[in-house]
Chain A
Amino acid sequence: MKNIIEIKNLHKIYATGIHAIKGVNLDVKEGEFLILLGLSGSGKSTFLRCLNRLIEPTSGDIHIDGEDVIDARGQKLRYIRRKVGMIFQQFNLIKNLSSLTNVLTGKLGYSSLLHSLTFPRQKNDIKIALKNLHRVGLRNYAENKIMNLSGGQQQRVSIARTLMQNPKVILADEPVASLDPATADSVMKYLGELNKKDKITIVCSLHFLSLARKYGSRVVGLKDGEIVFDGTPQEIDKKRFKEIYGEDAQEVEIR
């Protein structure tokens, strides 16, 4: 399998002087379901946002699907970003618009300004959007406003939005951290399905080891902006767990 993401010596130093990412080297193979573990503040969110340049890395080298992310400007950056879907802890949907409209925004990377302004009349786009809503089990909620949906439903809408991009990679920033355990598992199931059926590479930060074991094919532990563990989910025993989460941590089982 070829590497779809190649990261070399990535650093991020914020203007405040905080050194969030300290020289991370990481290659992600095509089709992997990579779980990022680490405490809050360990640099997971910053790391994921550097990959599609929502946050500007300070130095280093990132290639996604053979494209140089760091040097990309304007159109080139848009072209890379649309291949990389992103899912957020707070869903980041526009709450006073319908599910359908929110899903359609996933197509913006492919659309000219004029095309995107006429979304309501683009039959083809709407057809694909409805198909993606159907995939996440929300076909009947297309016209519902986001604010009237539950947390789990909202996260599924955001998965449908990402699917509009035809992504090769999905970055998921704690996608289930604001959901209850049962809903969390059902959302992870959809991500697992995209990984298996659609062969989409997934990089997902999580807090729960049980979900990491269930869905992940590889686990990377991040601590203070450095990689402290890289292996299979099964390799994480008590000792490794304490390396990532610190001496005082106890593993909590969910479900």
Chain B
Amino acid sequence: MKKENKLKLSLQAILTDLLFWIYIFGCISFLMDRWFEETIPGLNVVIYGTVATAIVIIFGISIGRKVFLPTKRTNKKWYKTFWGWSIVLILLITFIVGWLLVEVNLYKFFTKFRNAGGIMSGIFDPNFDILTMCLTALAETIYLALLATVFAIPFAFILSFFAARNLMPKTFIGNTVYIIIRTIATLFRSIEAIVWAIIFSVWVGIGPFAGMLALVIHSIAALTKLYSEQIENIDPGPVEAIKATGASTLQTWIFGVVPQIISPYLAFTIYRWDINVRMATIVGFVGGGGIGLLLLQQQQLLRWHNVGVIIWLIAAVVWIMDMVSAKVREKLQGK
């Protein structure tokens, strides 16, 4: 093994051990607080963790070493080893802390079913008198999702070329463009559409337009990633051949790349519309308009029979979209 490589792996091993033990003592501190109303101060947690790490390293029983550095293969059963029990310890302690944090209460779950009676009866006895109003709101949601997808396509289409490793020249500028677009796309995708919807409902006011803008941003980011990965998977042969005819870079992209990606792009776009319809419902909850907003209003008014209709309609639309988009994608990929 190379020297610098070994140093790097050793550092990773030590860091793993540190995090492991500080986490364990952090959990112990939390449990002591819950059960005995006594905490270990934060600094002490770090100190104990560091001491524990030092001890396991000195005794050669560290977890990090087991993970990162090559160790002798032994036939010892896991329950006869220290690292085996360390893993049991961390899993067990995590589960207990999780149980307390999430306030798991099985008693409530099994005895308070009656509280949900209103909504349950609403679902099985929906009030179809408000169907017209619901369908209007539903149309709003579907069109909102459609427009968001359509607006996202041209941006994502163009960006995807600059976010494809195989098309960007391996120069400083090429790398910079690639990294910037990829990073921004990842960042914007990791911010949930619901957060964008809150921002835009303040910006342009509550309503479907705010919802659409939220989905446009999210769709551009998501499609750019999907599209560019598709470009990275194309057959490089035709691109090379077209370059060899003396074509310009733009011509090479149009004639060598585009024909290879057009049908997967369509498949992804339809899939995206499908996702957007689902997201549009959620986005409606925070001011994005459409069926989501209606659902929120009816729920707050405790009109469970109206809520019932809305839930059935959403389920039906999601089911139909899912089926249609799967069928269309099948056709596109089979071609």
Chain A residues in the interface with B (C-beta under 8 A) = 52, 54, 77-82, 84-86, 88, 90-97, 105-111, 113, 116-117, 158, 161, 164-165
Provide the bound-state CA to CA distance between A111 and B248, in Å.
Answer: 9
Cβ of B132 within 8 Å of any chain A Cβ, yes or no, is no
Which of B247, B260, B335 is in CB contact (< 8 Å) with A109?
B247
A80 (CB) vs chain B CBs: closest residue: B246
Least Cβ distance of A164 to chain B in Å?
8
The 5 closest A-B pairs by CB, nearest first: A109-B246, A82-B246, A108-B247, A92-B237, A92-B241
User: What is the interface residue range for chain B against chain A?
Assistant: 20 to 34
Least Cβ distance of B252 to chain A in Å?
8
Provide the bound-state CA to CA distance between A82 and B244, in Å.
Answer: 7
Q: Are B241 and A81 in contact (CB under 8 A)?
A: no
> With A90-B237, A94-B238, A96-B263 known to touch, is A108 a contact of B244 (CB < 8 Å)?
no
Which of B243, B259, B263, B335 is in CB contact (< 8 Å) with A94?
B259
Cβ of B251 within 8 Å of any chain A Cβ, yes or no, is yes
Which of A54, A85, A94, A117 is in CB contact (< 8 Å) with B260?
A94
Q: Are B255 and A105 in contact (CB under 8 A)?
A: yes
Least Cβ distance of B322 to chain A in Å?
27
Least Cβ distance of A53 to chain B in Å?
9
Q: Are B237 and A108 in contact (CB under 8 A)?
A: no
Q: Are B254 and A78 in contact (CB under 8 A)?
A: no
Which residues of chain B are within 8 angstroms of A165 by Cβ–Cβ distance?
A: 245-246
Chain B residues in the interface with A (C-beta under 8 A) = 235, 237-238, 240-248, 250-251, 254-256, 259-260, 263, 335
Which residues of chain B are within 8 angstroms of A107 by Cβ–Cβ distance?
A: 245
B241 (CB) vs chain A CBs: closest residue: A92
Which residues of chain A are within 8 angstroms of B250 by Cβ–Cβ distance?
A: 113
Provide the bound-state CA to CA distance between A109 and B249, in Å.
Answer: 11
Q: Are B246 and A88 in contact (CB under 8 A)?
A: no
A52 (CB) vs chain B CBs: closest residue: B244
Which residues of chain B are within 8 angstroms of A158 by Cβ–Cβ distance?
A: 241
Which residues of chain B are within 8 angstroms of A54 by Cβ–Cβ distance?
A: 240, 243-244
Which residues of chain B are within 8 angstroms of A109 by Cβ–Cβ distance?
A: 245-247
Q: Are A108 and B263 in contact (CB under 8 A)?
A: no
B243 (CB) vs chain A CBs: closest residue: A54
Least Cβ distance of A17 to chain B in Å?
16
Which residues of chain B are within 8 angstroms of A81 by Cβ–Cβ distance?
A: 243-246
Which residues of chain A are within 8 angstroms of B246 by Cβ–Cβ distance?
A: 77-82, 108-110, 165
Which residues of chain A are within 8 angstroms of B235 by Cβ–Cβ distance?
A: 92, 95
Q: Are A86 and B244 in contact (CB under 8 A)?
A: yes
> With A82-B246, A109-B246 known to touch, is A93 a contact of B241 (CB < 8 Å)?
yes
Provide the bound-state CA to CA distance between A108 and B251, in Å.
Answer: 7
> With A88-B237, A92-B238, A92-B240 known to touch, is A117 a contact of B245 (CB < 8 Å)?
no
B259 (CB) vs chain A CBs: closest residue: A94
List 20 additional A-B contacts (Cβ < 8 Å) besides A81-B243, A105-B247.
A54-B243, A79-B246, A81-B245, A82-B245, A85-B244, A85-B245, A86-B244, A88-B241, A91-B237, A92-B235, A92-B237, A92-B240, A94-B238, A96-B335, A105-B255, A108-B245, A108-B248, A113-B250, A161-B241, A161-B245
Which residues of chain A are within 8 angstroms of B260 by Cβ–Cβ distance?
A: 94, 96
Least Cβ distance of B261 to chain A in Å?
10
Provide the bound-state CA to CA distance between A70 and B202, in Å.
Answer: 58
Provide the bound-state CA to CA distance between A161 and B251, in Å.
Answer: 16
Provide the bound-state CA to CA distance between A164 and B263, in Å.
Answer: 28
Q: Are B259 and A96 in contact (CB under 8 A)?
A: yes
A96 (CB) vs chain B CBs: closest residue: B259
B263 (CB) vs chain A CBs: closest residue: A96
Q: Are B238 and A116 in contact (CB under 8 A)?
A: no
Q: Are B248 and A113 in contact (CB under 8 A)?
A: yes
Least Cβ distance of B116 to chain A in Å?
53
B250 (CB) vs chain A CBs: closest residue: A113
Q: Which of B235, B255, B256, B259: most chain A CB closer than 10 A?
A: B255
Provide the bound-state CA to CA distance between A52 and B237, in Å.
Answer: 15
A147 (CB) vs chain B CBs: closest residue: B335
Q: Are A108 and B242 in contact (CB under 8 A)?
A: yes
Q: Which of A54, A79, A108, A165: most chain B CB closer than 10 A?
A: A108
Least Cβ distance of A253 to chain B in Å?
30
Q: Are B240 and A117 in contact (CB under 8 A)?
A: no
Which residues of chain A are within 8 angstroms of B243 by Cβ–Cβ distance?
A: 54, 81
Q: Which of B246, B260, B335: most chain A CB closer than 10 A?
A: B246
Least Cβ distance of A172 to chain B in Å?
12
Provide the bound-state CA to CA distance between A113 and B251, in Å.
Answer: 7
Q: Are A78 and B248 in contact (CB under 8 A)?
A: yes
In the complex, 19 of the A-B residue pairs with CB atoms within 8 angstroms, ordered by the A residue number, are: A54-B243, A78-B247, A81-B245, A88-B241, A92-B240, A96-B259, A96-B263, A105-B245, A105-B247, A107-B245, A108-B242, A108-B247, A108-B248, A108-B255, A109-B246, A110-B246, A113-B248, A117-B254, A158-B241
Provide the bound-state CA to CA distance between A93 and B247, in Å.
Answer: 15
Least Cβ distance of B149 to chain A in Å?
24
Q: Are A94 and B251 in contact (CB under 8 A)?
A: no
Which of A77, A86, A95, A116 is in CB contact (< 8 Å) with B251?
A116
Least Cβ distance of B230 to chain A in Å?
14
Provide the bound-state CA to CA distance between A109 and B255, in Å.
Answer: 12
Least Cβ distance of A251 to chain B in Å?
30
Provide the bound-state CA to CA distance between A109 and B252, in Å.
Answer: 10
Which residues of chain B are within 8 angstroms of A90 by Cβ–Cβ distance?
A: 237
